[in-house]
Chains A and B, each alone.
Chain A
Amino acid sequence: MTVDYSTLKKGGFMRQKQKNNFSLRLRVVGGNLTAVQLAKIAEVAEKFGDGHVHLTSRQSVEIPFIKLDDIDNVKSALAEGNVEPGVCGPRVRTITACQGEAICPSGCIDTYSLAKELDDRYFARELPHKFKFGITGCQNNCLKAEENDVGIKGGIKVNWRESDCIKCGVCEKACRSGAIDITDGVITVDESKCNFCGRCVKACPTEAWDTVHGYIVSFGGLFGNSISKGEAVIPFIEDKEKLLEICDAAIEFFAENANAGERFKFTIDRVGKDKFTQKILEVYNG
């Protein structure tokens, strides 16, 4: 019997060292699983694997020691618990996310909702090489946005609202980038220094700030054989629809220009950073 490994890989089955054994990668979005899903995963690992699972470096779960002959049974068993196989190979991979503003006091954006939206839009899309999205809720960057092909980081753009300000002085000290100055009871924010971390708002006793929650997007990050930090083209994107259009444009640029097996960063470098920047700016300003 010939085994089509690339089809299996596409369906999340990773060949193991041990012949005819596969580690099945599961579809996880934003690092969240329900208790029902976990129970089913445990059951399948007991019944079809060797009773353990592996947590991957990018928030997925793999069930090792699945036998080739059991693949269909494993898939239908998992489906009963709303669990699907994930993907490997040259396509859009697991969308990773921190807990974000729904759970974390530091979060500036709803990372999980965004991860689900990106997953619906792109998951498993075929591309010249792997393509990773990571979403982190704030400047603490727990999810390491810039190591992804497209990294999204939540931020808050602030505007002082004098009417609610009690001039306590907390924001000036909460700001870690020295962007806030209080002189004679007047607060000014140096926009060239502000990194949209939102600490001024979160520390302010009266929330005397008008805020816009938005996104800082980096492109071309990798953290494998080569290491490179993704870079932003636009300092701050306020609108989610615009963010999605920009993600579309980035994937399109990759699909159109990349050589097979070439990561996004190297495509951008080879085709020209100016060309990529121009494309992104066209979409942003369009």
Chain B
Amino acid sequence: MADFDFNIDDSVDITDVVCPTTFVKAKIALEELDEGQILAVKMNDGEPVQNVPRSIKEEGHQILKLINNEDGTFTLIVKKVGE
């Protein structure tokens, strides 16, 4: 994974599921965290990376960065907002 300045509290891989389970899996992982903790979500290029960041934003969480892993996957860094 590329270098960045975030302290990741937990990570989830959603490359093994398809829409809409991609978002659901990320949402469940976020629910496990406390407010302010940071989650790394690994997702596939294409539909997941087009849609999952927006869905997470619409849930009220704070997106910090989208990292291109240069292997057909991306990692989204999300800070949990709210309980």
Contact = CB atoms under 8 A, between A and B. Distances in A.
Contacts of A205: 53, 57, 62-64
Contact of A168 (B45, B54, B65): B65
B28 to A, nearest CB: 21
B54 A202 contact: yes
B49 A173 contact: yes
B57 A203 contact: yes
Interface residues of A, number: 13
Interface string A187-213: 000000000000100111100000000
Nearest to B68: A169
Given A173-B74, A203-B57, A168 B63 contact: yes
Contacts of B53: 170, 173-174, 203, 205
A173 B50 contact: yes
Contacts, number: 39
Interface in B43-63: 45, 49-51, 53-54, 57-58, 62-63
Contacts of B63: 168, 170, 205
B33 interface: no
A235 interface: no
B41 to A, nearest CB: 12
A149 B49 CA distance: 36
Contacts of B24: none
Interface of B: 45, 49-51, 53-54, 57-58, 62-68, 74, 76
Top-5 shortest CB links A-B: A205-B63, A203-B54, A169-B66, A173-B49, A170-B53
B78 to A, nearest CB: 9
Interface string A148-185: 00000000000000000010111001101000000000
A174 B49 CA distance: 7
Nearest to B58: A105
B49 to A, nearest CB: 5
A204 B54 CA distance: 7
Q: Which of B51, B57, B66, B74 has most chain A Cβ within 10 Å?
A: B66
Contact of B54 (A166, A174, A176): A174
Nearest to A167: B65
A166 B65 CA distance: 8
B31 to A, nearest CB: 19
A270 B51 CA distance: 44
A105 B59 CA distance: 12
Contacts of A166: 64-65
Nearest to B64: A168
Interface string A55-83: 00000000000000000000000000000
A105 B58 CA distance: 9
A170 B66 contact: yes
14 contacts: A105-B58, A168-B64, A169-B66, A173-B49, A173-B74, A174-B50, A174-B51, A174-B53, A174-B54, A176-B50, A199-B54, A202-B54, A205-B53, A205-B57
Interface in A26-48: none
Contacts of B54: 170, 174, 199, 202-203
A194 to B, nearest CB: 16
Contacts of B66: 168-170, 173
A8 to B, nearest CB: 48
Q: Which of A105, A170, A204 has most chain B Cβ within 10 Å?
A: A170
